[in-house]
């Protein structure tokens, strides 16, 4: 009993002593804000048809489809003025949230984003469900310790705090809930794929490429006609999704970084080939929150070393090319 209590005390102390995953949460903040702005601006000229008082998805239908815990400020009034003010407030708050962050803006972002999503659920892409959950956890976290005005001073204040604090424990708990939710999503998605016949046969990507809603180009459809390539991508998707939760928990940094980069490459492919841009961005943002701060610092050091190596290799070739420039008779005489 004493051993269990000691371990619990050590866990609580570890949660309360240092804020973790600050870089990943900051990147998730930027992605959610940018994706929401893109979501609004992509159909800005059709906003009346999709979300307005005279939308094809009427307010009565939207109200009936609300879950028990759902709400939408767009359903408060059928006024055109109210809709325009609220819709543009979503854009403004999302931009401010993306740039500045902070708990107040995170809460405002959560309320407005939920309101927009639940006004018309027919136009959602899927990643919105994850964003709706993660934004609630982010309300209790520090999401502007990086990539925001005053971030350096904010980190200095956090480092200056002596001993464990409740705020630090709440932040870390929220950060771990973000990671847990993301891992459960990938584990569930991988499980349903591995139990599906079309995924087992390696034919899932072929059928997806034939759907009119996801057929971005004839090249994509042609590539998925290859049995080898289609099967490889199917098995790669299943493997990376099932491995993601275990990779995140791994003590080996290269395992965490490799699996995360692989699954982000998968989402980049979804954005490029299937046109699910906001979905892919939101999933990449969630992936970013699962890497540790030391992983990002290691990646930054690697990028700096790579840049220096490339610069050193380019510099001698540039100097050699300058020495090979022919000297004219006038230049030789003047020398």
State the average pLDDT for the chain.
89
d(CA 221, CA 198): 17
Task: Report if residue 123 sits inside a domain.
Answer: yes
Question: DSSP letters along 233-284, please?
Answer: HHHHHHHHHHHHHHHHH-S-HHHHHHHHHHHHHHHHHIIIII--HHHHHHHH
Question: Regarding predicted confidence, which is higher, 134 or 127?
Answer: 134
> What pLDDT digit, counting tens, does each position of 77-87 carry?
999 999 999 99
Please report the pLDDT score of residue 112 as a whole number: 97
pLDDT for residue 335 is more than 50? no
Alpha carbon 149 to chain centroid, angstroms? 21
- Is residue 233 one of the residues assigned to a domain? yes
Question: What does the pLDDT look like over 263-278, one tens digit per residue?
Answer: 999 999 989 888 889 9
- 7 pLDDT above the threshold of 60: yes
Residue 13 lies in a domain: no
Q: What percent of the chain has pLDDT over 90?
A: 69
* pLDDT for the residue 317: 60
The verdict on residue 265 lying in a domain is: yes
Least confident of 47-51, 214-218, 284-288: 214-218
Contact yes or no for 147/285 (Cβ under 8 A): no
pLDDT at 215 over 90: no
- Summarize pLDDT for 271-307 with one digit per residue, the tens: 988 888 999 999 999 999 999 999 999 999 999 999 9
Residue 327 has pLDDT above 80, yes or no: no
Residue 326 belongs to some domain of the structure: no
Q: How far apart are CA 230 and CA 159, in angstroms?
A: 49
Q: How confident is the model at residue 221 (pLDDT cuts 50, 70, 90)?
A: confident
State the total domains in the chain. 1
The pLDDT of residue 324 is 54
Domain that holds residue 263: 18-156+163-307
| Size of the chain in residues | 335
Assign residue 195 a region: left if phi > 0, alpha if psi is -120 to 50, beta otherwise? alpha
Q: What angle do CA 18, 22, 23 make, to 5 degrees?
A: 145
User: Tens digits of per-residue pLDDT, 149-208?
Assistant: 999 999 999 988 877 888 899 999 999 999 999 999 999 999 999 998 999 999 999 888
* 0.95 surpassed by pTM: no
pLDDT tens column, 25-44: 999 999 999 999 999 999 99
Per-residue pLDDT, 163: 76
Phi and psi, residue 292, nearest 5°: -80, 160
């Amino acid at each position: 009993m004493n051993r269990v209590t000691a371990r619990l005390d050590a866990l609580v102390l570890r949660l309360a002593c240092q804020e973790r995953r600050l870089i990943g949460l900051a990147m998730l903040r930027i992605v959610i804000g940018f994706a929401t702005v893109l979501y609004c601006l992509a159909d800005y000229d059709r906003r009346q048809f999709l979300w307005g008082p005279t939308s094809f998805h009427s307010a009565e239908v939207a109200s009936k489809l609300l879950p028990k815990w759902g709400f939408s400020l767009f359903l408060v009034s059928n006024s055109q003025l109210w809709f325009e003010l609220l819709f543009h407030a979503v854009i403004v708050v999302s931009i401010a949230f993306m740039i500045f962050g902070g708990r107040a803006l995170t809460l405002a972002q959560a309320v407005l984003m939920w309101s927009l999503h639940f006004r018309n659920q027919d136009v959602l892409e899927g990643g919105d469900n994850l964003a709706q959950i993660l934004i609630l956890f982010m309300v209790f976290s520090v999401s502007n310790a990086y990539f925001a005005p005053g971030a350096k001073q904010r980190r200095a204040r956090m480092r200056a705090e002596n001993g464990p604090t409740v705020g630090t424990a709440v932040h870390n708990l929220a950060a771990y809930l973000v990671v847990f939710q993301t891992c459960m999503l990938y584990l569930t998605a991988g499980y349903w794929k591995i139990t599906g016949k079309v995924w087992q046969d390696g034919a899932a990507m072929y059928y997806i490429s034939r759907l009119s809603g996801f057929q971005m180009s004839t090249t994509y459809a042609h590539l998925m006609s290859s049995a080898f390539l289609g099967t490889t991508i199917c098995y790669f998707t299943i493997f990376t999704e099932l491995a993601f939760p275990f990779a995140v928990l791994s003590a080996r940094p290269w395992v965490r970084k490799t699996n995360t980069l692989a699954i982000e490459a998968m989402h980049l492919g979804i954005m490029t080939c299937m046109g699910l841009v906001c979905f892919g961005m939101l999933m990449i943002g969630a992936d970013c929150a699962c890497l540790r701060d030391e992983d990002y610092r290691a990646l930054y050091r690697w990028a700096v070393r790579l840049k220096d190596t490339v610069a050193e290799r380019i510099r001698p070739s540039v100097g050699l090319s300058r020495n090979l420039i022919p000297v004219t008779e006038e230049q030789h005489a003047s020398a």
